[in-house]
Homo-oligomer: A and B are copies of this chain.
Amino acid sequence: MSSSSAAAGRGEKAGKPTMRDALVAAAFRLFLERGYEQTTVDDIVALAGVGRRSFFRYFPSKEDVVFPDHERCLADMTAFLAAGTDDEPVRRVCDAARLVLLMYAENPAFSVQRYRLTRQVPGLRAYELSVVWRYERALAGFLRARFAGLRDGTLRADVIAAAVVAAHNNALRSWLRSDGQGDAEAAVDHALEHVRAAFGAETVPAVTDGPDDVVVIVSRRGAPLWRVVQELEAALGRG
C-alpha cells in the first residue's frame, strides 16, 4: 500500500492524494455510513466529485474498491517469487506471504474497518475468498516449479501453499478481530515459522540410502531430552 493510498484508506489527506485515493475514501465513508449494499457507484462518484467512467477506470466493480491494494500486492508477490534464487523454497513462500501482512499492517484502522465490513456482506466474503485463492495459487505455482520432478511434487506444493496461507490468515485474522492491537508481524512470523518447521526440510535431499526406511530409537523415559535428540540426530545422519 503506497502512503498516498494508505492515506485514502484512512480518509485523510496526506501527501498528494490521487483520484483513485479519493474514490476509496469516498466509498468507505459511504459504506460505513449507509452500509455496503445501500451504497451505489453513483453515490461514490458523486461524493468524490468525479464521473462514473473515472471509477471504472480504476475499479472493475464496487467490490474491487473494498480491496484496492490486492492487485498490486499480488503483482509484488509474483515479482518477489520470480526473483527467488535461494535454495529454500518454503522460506521463500513464507516471505512472500509476509507481503500480504505488511499491506494490512501498514494501515491498521482501514484494515480493521474493512474486516468488519467483509464479515457482514456475503458478496465481499466471496470476493475475499477469490483473492486468497489467487495468492495461494501464486505460492503453489512457485513451489510446483521448484518441486518439478520430485515425487508427489504438485501435491507437496499445493499442501505447503495451503498451509502457508492458513497460518498467515490465522494470525492476520486474530489481529484484525482484536481491532489491530498487538504485533501483527510477530504473530504472522510465529505462525509461518510453524509451517516452515513442519515443511522446511521437504526439499532437503533425502539421505541416499532410501527415503522410506525407518529409524527406531529406544530410550528410557527418564533420559534427558537433549541426549535422546543427540542420539536421534546421529541415527538420522544429521548430527
Contacts and interface: CB of A to CB of B under 8 A. Distances in A.
A92 to B, nearest CB: 17
How many identical chains are in the complex? 2
B200 A224 contact: yes
B170 A155 contact: yes
Interface residues of A, number: 59
A217 B217 contact: yes
Interface string A74-86: 0000000000000
Given A156-B194, A191-B155, A232-B229, A222 B207 contact: yes
Interface string A202-228: 100011011111111111111011111
Interface string A106-141: 000000000000000000011101100100000000
Contacts of A184: none
A69 interface: no
Contacts of A198: 159, 198-199, 224, 226-227
A65 interface: no
A155 B189 CA distance: 12
A170 B194 contact: no
Contacts of A169: 158
Contacts of A201: 224-226
A158 B195 CA distance: 11
Interface stretch (A32-40, A43-51, A160-168): A160-168
B166 A161 contact: yes
A14 interface: no
Given A129-B129, A159-B167, 18 more contacts: A126-B127, A152-B190, A155-B170, A163-B166, A197-B226, A198-B199, A198-B224, A199-B224, A207-B222, A211-B222, A212-B220, A213-B221, A214-B218, A215-B221, A221-B236, A221-B237, A228-B232, A228-B236
Interface of A: 125-127, 129-130, 133, 152, 154-156, 158-159, 161-163, 165-167, 169-171, 174, 190-191, 194-195, 197-202, 206-207, 209-222, 224-229, 232-233, 236-238
